[in-house]
Amino acid sequence: MRRLGELEAAIMDVLWAAPGPATVRGVLEALDRDPEPAYTTVMTVLDNLHRKDIVTRERDGRAWAYRPALSREDFDAEAMASVLESSADRGATLLRFIGKIGPDELARLRAAMDEAEESA
């Protein structure tokens, strides 16, 4: 899974925060960007995200309404798994990742690993 570009990430933030599907106009209105991107730019980015299966879309009158294909957490987990899969040394990559997270996250990781081990 490829990382999101800056505008892609901003658009996905809007979609993840939306209570339901959002049209291009709705995404554009919710974006907090200066300068504001053009309508056609947002439309193109959403179309690209759809082609990459990152968003789904449905008809809303004459327009398309978009929603994330995955929750933010599932998307992030897939991105992390993709990075790990592409690593030449998975163990070293995991150790470096663990070295970059804080004590609270490390405690949550330990608890999740213990829970996964108990249920296995």
β-sheet bridge partners, residue 61: none
Looking at domain 6-68, its CATH class is mainly alpha
Q: In the predicted model, is pLDDT for residue 2 greater than 80?
A: no
Q: Which amino acid is at 80?
A: M
pLDDT tens digits for range 74-111: 999 999 999 999 999 999 999 999 999 999 999 999 99
Give the span between the Cα atoms of 57 and 112, in whole angstroms: 34
90-100 and 72-86 helices cross at what angle (nearest 10)? 130
Tens digits of residue pLDDT in 26-80: 999 999 898 999 999 999 999 999 999 999 999 999 999 999 999 999 999 999 9
> pTM of this prediction?
0.83
pLDDT score, position 1: 62
Q: Which residues pair with 65 in a beta bridge?
A: 23, 58
